[in-house]
Structures are given as C-alpha cells and as structure tokens.
C-alpha cells in the first residue's frame, strides 16, 4: 500500500515519475502488439457488416481459449508489483459493484476485464430490495467468469426491445430461473430481451465481458425487481446520449445560432433523440420550431413521438397565437 510519505517522495522525484510513465508505455506497446491483442483483432477484422450473432460466435471461440486473459492478468500483476504507481493503460469502467478495464475495442466489439467484489455485492443486496432494478442493456453480451466466486445468478427476460419500443408495450420482466456458475463458464446474454443479476457470491469474481456492437437496440430498459413493472429507459449508445447532452447545453446557453444544427437531428433514427431535440428547439426558439413540430405531429414514424408532438403543438399554437385586444 502506498502511504503518504512514499507518495510525496515519488511526486518530488521526476526521474521516478518518468520511469513509471515508461513502464506504462511499454506495457501498452507490449499488449497492443502482443499475440493476444493481435488474435482478437485478426478474428474480428475479417467480419464484413456482421450480424450480432456472427460477432458473438467469434468472441465465444476467443473466450474459450483462456491463454490471453491469463497473460493479461499476469502482466498487470507483475507491473503493479514492480511499480506501485503503475496505472494500467486502459479505459476504466466503474459501477457500484464492478470495476474493469477496456482491453480491446473495434467497430464490432468492446472487451473488458474486471472484478466484482463479494463485499460490494453483499452491501447492495443488504440495501432496500424494493429499490433494485433489472436492467436490459439492449446489446448482445458475452461473459466469461474466469473466477466465478461461487456466484448464483438469476436470469430474466422481457418483451424484445426494438426501434418501435413504447412504454405501453414494455410489459413486465420475468425471472426464468437461477443457478450457480462455474469457473471458466461462458454466459451469453441477449440484452435486447435477456438479463441476469448476481444474487450471491462467496468470493470476488473475475469477469471478462464482450459487448457486441452490431444490431443493438436503441434503448436500454429497466424494470422493478419486486413488481417486475417497467421503470424507464435510456439511450443504449454513446452517440445518442452525446446528442442529447449537447443540444441541452446549447439550449441552456441560449445559443440561437445553433438552431439549424440542432434541427438537423430531427431526422435521427432513434425516436427519443428526435423528441429530445424537438423539446430543446422549442426551448431555444418556440416560434422557429413550430413548423418542425407540425411536421413531427403529422408524420413521425413513432406513435409516442407523434402523440407527444400533437399535444405540444396544441399548447404551443395557443401560446403563440396573437392576443386579442380587450
């Protein structure tokens, strides 16, 4: 463990900091040019416009051969032993029960290695059970339990998440069973209609997770663990989320010059992005947004977006109508 005095000495020692940086760079070069990384890249590079199942089949074969995950973990362990200030050269992913590193990513798949601790799982389960939710990611995902930790999983299903998703059609989720997973087991979960929850573990879990990018649903959806009822949904991909955040920021900054650029997203394939953009246009300049709102109310392909636009249109036209003199 790094204590305060040791950290202060390292922060004051420029040569030691450069050496740590060199070790990080060397590890990144070794991993990116090494046999494991090359094998993953070669296996997925030959796929041309693949379906999600095609990518999953390739990744399942890679996961079946555990040499490269052992190579990666051993390398990280050695690097941390040699230098306590070493930082793995990977993007971090963190949740309340899981910490991981994205070790490979291309247009077809993102692969992460991480740890879920038994203590954090227990702390979450010991909280209010009614506050828990069952999340469906909208993406096909493969999990290899390199160290299963004696984990017992519950498996869940929901109505398929498609581009025509509506709250009215979300229905309820259903628990389809529970079982204990074994060390080295590979579990494939179609997040467009399937999910699982780690109900219990006796030790920490080391998990390899491959998230398949093609054919993902536009949304991730959550259900209440206790009632099985639909709770809400959110964008399943970063691009849609970024569009929503940026358009909101531009509206808050009252950036009128951005109106045409924001309006261009009214043709976005995801219905929830179109409606979010419409709301921000109305907040930015309601009068200029009115023609776009009329078009959306008359012909948006998604029924909930049309209904929301129709309702908003009536209110907007009433508020923008010229006031009669008393």
Do 278 and 209 fall into the same domain?
A: no
pLDDT, one tens digit for every residue, the chain (326 residues): 555 788 888 888 899 899 999 999 999 998 888 877 887 778 777 777 788 898 899 889 888 877 777 788 888 889 999 999 999 999 988 877 788 999 988 888 999 998 988 878 777 766 654 458 899 999 999 999 999 999 999 999 999 998 888 888 899 999 999 999 999 999 999 999 999 999 999 999 999 999 999 999 988 999 999 999 999 988 887 888 899 999 999 999 999 999 999 999 999 988 989 999 999 999 999 999 999 999 999 999 998 899 999 999 989 888 877 765 54
Residue range(s) defining the domain that contains residue 314: 238-320
**What CATH number should be reported for the domain holding residue 78?**
2.60.120.10
Residue 270 maps to a domain: yes
User: Is 162 in the same domain as 35?
Assistant: yes
In a domain, 57, yes or no: yes
Domain count across the chain = 2
For residue 3, being part of any structural domain is answered with no
Number of residues in the chain: 326
* Any domain includes 256: yes
Q: Are residues 135 and 183 in the same domain?
A: yes
Among 235, 269, 295, the domain boundary falls at 235
Main-chain dihedrals φ then ψ at residue 208, nearest 5 degrees: -100, 125
Based on the fold, state whether residues 157 and 204 are members of the same structural domain.
yes
Whether residues 187 and 283 fall in one domain: no
Alpha helices in the chain (DSSP H): 4-12, 14-32, 35-45, 52-64, 67-82, 118-125, 238-252, 259-263, 271-284, 286-299, 303-320
193/213 same-domain check: yes
Q: Which of 208, 235, 262 is the last residue of a domain?
A: 235
| Residue 11 included in any domain | no
């Amino acid at each position: 463990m790094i204590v305060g005095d040791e950290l202060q000495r390292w922060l004051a020692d420029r040569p030691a900091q450069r050496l740590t940086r060199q070790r990080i760079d060397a590890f990144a070069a070794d991993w990116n040019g090494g046999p494991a990384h090359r094998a993953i890249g070669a296996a997925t590079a030959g796929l041309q416009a693949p379906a999600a199942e095609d990518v999953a089949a390739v990744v399942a074969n890679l996961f079946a051969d555990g040499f490269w995950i052992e190579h990666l973990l051993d390398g990280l362990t050695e690097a941390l032993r040699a230098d306590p200030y070493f930082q793995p050269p990977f993007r971090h992913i963190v949740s309340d029960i899981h910490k991981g590193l994205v070790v490979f990513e291309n247009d077809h798949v993102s692969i992460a290695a991480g740890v879920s601790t038994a203590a954090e799982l227990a702390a979450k389960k010991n909280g209010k059970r009614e506050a828990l939710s069952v999340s469906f990611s909208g993406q096909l995902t493969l999990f290899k339990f390199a160290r299963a930790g004696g984990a017992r999983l519950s498996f869940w299903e929901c109505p398929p998440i498609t581009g025509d998703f509506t709250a009215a059609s979300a229905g309820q989720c259903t628990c389809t069973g529970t079982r204990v997973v074994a060390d080295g087991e590979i579990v494939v979960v179609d997040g467009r209609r399937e999910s699982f929850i780690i109900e219990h573990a006796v030790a920490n879990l080391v998990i390899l997770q491959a998230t398949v990018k093609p054919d993902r649903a536009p949304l991730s959806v959550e259900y209440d663990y206790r009632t099985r009822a639909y709770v809400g949904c959110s964008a399943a991909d970063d691009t849609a989320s970024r569009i929503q955040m940026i358009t909101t920021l531009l509206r808050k900054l009252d950036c009128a010059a951005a109106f045409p650029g924001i309006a261009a997203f009214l043709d976005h394939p995801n219905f929830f992005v179109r409606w979010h953009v419409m709301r921000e246009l109305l907040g930015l300049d309601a009068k200029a947004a009115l023609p776009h709102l009329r078009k959306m109310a008359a012909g948006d392909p998604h029924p909930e977006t049309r209904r929301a636009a129709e309702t908003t249109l009536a209110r907007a036209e009433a508020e923008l109508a010229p006031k009669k003199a008393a």
